[in-house]
Amino acid sequence: MRQLNRLNQYQRLWQPSSGAPQQVTVSELASRCFCSERHIRTLLRQAQEAGWLSWHAQSGRGKRGELTFHVTPESLRNGMMEEALKSGQQHNALELAQLAPQALRALLHPFLGGHWQNDTPTLRIPYYRPLEPLKPGFLPGRAEQHLVGHVFSGLTRFHGNSSEPTGDLAHHWEVSSEGLRWHFYIRSTLHWHNGDKVETDQLRASLVALFTLPALRQLFNSVQHIEVTHPQCLTFVLHQPDYWLAHRLASYGSRLVHPEQPFTGSGPFRLTVFEPDLVRLESHEQYHLSHPLLKAIEYWITPQLFEQGLGTSCRHPVQIAIGEPDELASLRLVSNSTSLGFCYLTLKQSPTLSEIQARRLINIIHRTTLLHTLPLEEGLITPTQELLPGWQIPQWPEVSDIPLPEKLTLVYHLPVELHTMANQLQHYLAQQGCQLTVVFHDAKTWDGCQKLADADIMMGDRLIGEAPEYTLEQWLRCDALWPHLLSAPQLAHLQATLDAVQTQSDEHARQAGLKAIFTRLMESAVLTPLFNYQYQISAPPGVNGIRLNTRGWFDFTEAWLPAPKS
């Protein structure tokens, strides 16, 4: 990038005197800039024409000329970044911002948060890691799940924090009396992000492709086939009733893509840039529901702004703007809440670990100071004794006289706060004469984990979406954990019970049936919750409409910026 090279050369000229006038030879300047004398003369002429400096040469070889600076490298960099942003060259702006973390914080501060660029309301979010590709099906990252919900649409959707699905691509649906035929009536004004009209046949093709994914096939195992019964109607034919079907179709994992263009959706925002250092969304002018109030959302992937060594931790709140410590007072905490999602611990009962021993382990976790003394940042987690509100863990009598196994193996995955939990548990069990071998699976899910078969104890986390009970039903059906945790007869019984629960047309009956399943898992010492996270969003003044959702993010379609002052 030519601008960055010019800026770096100017920085080399400036640095020896910190901007004070210099008496210097052309040869010294060429050496400082690692170039020829001919080239340094060209650089000096160009900088002087741009008004950056003045160069008064003295005739004669080796004579010292006078170099006077008119602008600082910092102001020059800011001006270049502003010009790059105004002209839509975000990559050039990010290249110009390649500095040490402390300098980068100060430099980026004016450009992050909400801004009007060329009469376009834009929100820029610094993010601590590259984003994984957005694709149909389940995704491990909370940020990716959130983005999928804005780029792609489903037949149904969850609106706000409601646990009941509503229409999306389908404006409504009807269910036959026996629950085996579901008719979804498709809106007639749908458009893909490329401007093409959405055809009902395309939606069917996208659904058929989605159901070839193993996890989605498990989720929709009641679907026999899908028919286009009318140019504006999709009919799902089931071999057994499934009254979670509208919930399943509203899940982020069931969003539909153009069958021939996998990155083209029909959601409120279209994906215009998806690269390692920049992700840009722009509003979809032909969106079929309420149009976004912002024109563009940009993720600036700047890991150097964040603490290193935290991996893909949930420790980072969603930050809308950042600055020097003395500038952080201008940020305001917009919204915070305790997540319904939780970190959990499961125990595989076997000849190595009996149920009564598993109960003692759970008592150690919940009846000692173990969870309350984890050396973590204050306000990050909240220990819990509920799987969901009202779904209490069992209260067993003390069984401290039951000896623990001499050796156990713990396997866990991210978030990294479970590193601390694993170390703490290892220390506590050692005091009880039990040697705990700890194995870390460096991922956000159990997919691809080869060590699950050898584990006695597993720890992970469960994100909770807009419909908590349904999300947990989906967890039991689709997560790779359960076949390793339960015996074949236990797993078959679990799946049969889930099938029986889904046939209940009454929502409260389904929720009660699901609660009974998880209560049995907790009472049999197979599963226990550990802690919830504290979600929070901070934003600078002037960024409005930000409200935490169940995934710890905020609805991009509701955020807005006041008009710039004239």
Does residue 415 have a cis bond before it (omega within 30 degrees)?
yes
Digit-coded pLDDT (tens) for 444-474: 899 889 999 999 999 999 988 788 999 999 9
Give the pLDDT score at 1: 54
Residues making up the chain, counted from first to last: 566
d(CA 281, CA 269): 6
Backbone angles phi, psi at 44, to 5 degrees: -65, -40
Which residue carries 């956000």 as its tokens?
444
Which of 327, 330, 301, 326 lies closest to 316, judged by CA?
301
Instruction: Tell me the DSSP string of 368-401.
Output: SSTGGG----TTSEEE-SBSSTT-BPP-PPP-TT
Instruction: Compute the average pLDDT of residues 432-438.
Output: 95
Give the pLDDT score at 63: 79
pLDDT over threshold 50, residue 311:
no
pLDDT over threshold 60, residue 376:
yes
pTM: 0.80
Digit-coded pLDDT (tens) for 64-123: 889 999 988 878 887 787 677 666 666 666 666 654 444 444 444 544 555 555 567 788
Give the least confident one: 56-70, 169-183, 242-256, 537-551. Answer: 537-551
Show the CA angle centred on residue 453, arms to residues 448 and 459, nearest 5°: 75
Give the pLDDT score at 317: 40
The two tokens of residue 387 are: 């799987």
As a three-state string, the secondary structure of 333-355 is EEEEEEEEEEEEEEECCCCCCCH
Instruction: Compute the average pLDDT of residues 309-327.
Output: 37
pLDDT band at 296 (very low <50, low <70, confident <90, very high): confident
d(CA 149, CA 144): 9
pLDDT band at 257 (very low <50, low <70, confident <90, very high): very high
d(CA 263, CA 519): 41
- Count of helices and strands (H, E) across the chain: 16, 21
Give the pLDDT score at 393: 96
pLDDT over threshold 60, residue 529:
yes
Instruction: Compute the average pLDDT of residues 319-326.
Output: 36
Per the prediction, the chain carries an average pLDDT of 85
Digit-coded pLDDT (tens) for 147-186: 999 999 999 999 877 789 999 999 999 999 999 999 999 9
* Interstrand relation of 170-175 and 407-413 (parallel, antiparallel or unpaired): unpaired
Instruction: Compute the average pLDDT of residues 203-224.
Output: 95
For 230, the 3-state DSSP assignment is strand
pLDDT over threshold 90, residue 399:
no
pLDDT over threshold 90, residue 428:
yes
- Would you give the DSSP letter of residue 141? -
Give the least confident one: 302-311, 338-347, 372-381, 536-545. Answer: 302-311
Give the pLDDT score at 3: 73
d(CA 453, CA 471): 25
Instruction: Compute the average pLDDT of residues 112-139.
Output: 76
Instruction: Compute the average pLDDT of residues 232-247.
Output: 98
d(CA 134, CA 362): 38
112 or 49: which carries more pLDDT confidence?
49
267 or 555: which carries more pLDDT confidence?
267
pLDDT over threshold 90, residue 390:
yes
The two tokens of residue 201 are: 């046949």
262 or 116: which carries more pLDDT confidence?
262
* Interstrand relation of 165-167 and 170-175 (parallel, antiparallel or unpaired): unpaired
pLDDT band at 26 (very low <50, low <70, confident <90, very high): confident
Give the pLDDT score at 87: 62
Instruction: Tell me the DSSP string of 240-291.
Output: S--TTHHHHHHSGGG-B-BTTBTT---SSEEEEEEETTEEEEEE-TT-SSSP
Residues facing 427 on adjacent strands = none
pLDDT over threshold 50, residue 203:
yes
Give the pLDDT score at 314: 34
Give the pLDDT score at 315: 38
Give the pLDDT score at 309: 44
Give the pLDDT score at 327: 39
Q: Contact at 8 Å (CB) between 343 and 527?
A: no
